[in-house]
Amino acid sequence: MAKILMHCCCAPCSLSVIDPLRAEGFEPVAFWYNPNIHPWKEYEARRDCLLAYAPTIDMEVRVKEHYGLSEFVQKVAGDIGGRCTFCYENRLEAAARYAAEHGFSAFTTTLLASPYQRHEAIAEAAGRFAQEYGVDFLYRDFRPNFRAGNQRARELGFYMQKYCGCIFSEADRYQNKIRRDREKYSE
């Protein structure tokens, strides 16, 4: 099997990607680099869940440890609505660079498993960085596997996150409650 670097945002999303890659003759090597995930306890829970799961399926994990709260907030503060572009580009450039520097001919990402992510933006950024670093980007639409992957993650007792990872998406998930509280408590 040909090894492929698989940028991995979390263990639950990896369940939608690993088996299809293996069925195609690829052996995924998970690459953890997610300086967008906040707060620290969220970052730690997602990383540690992946690290605990990987040995049970004989999957290698490479960790580029970087909790980047300050850097992330500084980069997106001027355009919080466009933060996903920076987030994709930051992680996918790191994956492409890592693949090139460590002898991988191709990379992919578990971001492609989520129906909540912008696939066109992911594919565009990954393709650009693949070309820049001289590696291939393997695009696959893993979204059809998402629900089954999440169900399997629950069965395995994985930590299941409630938002994509950045502190702003965490706030977004509470917008209705924030609005209700504002109406309730405002004079």
Q: Is 10 one of the annotated binding-site residues?
A: yes
Q: How far is CA 157 from CA 12, 18, 48, 49, 53, in A?
A: 10, 18, 13, 10, 10
* Residue 100 · residue 111 · CB < 8 Å: no
Q: Is 9 one of the annotated binding-site residues?
A: yes
Q: Is 166 one of the annotated binding-site residues?
A: no
For the annotated binding site, the residues are 9-10, 84, 87
**Which residues contribute to the annotated binding site for [4Fe-4S] cluster?**
9-10, 84, 87
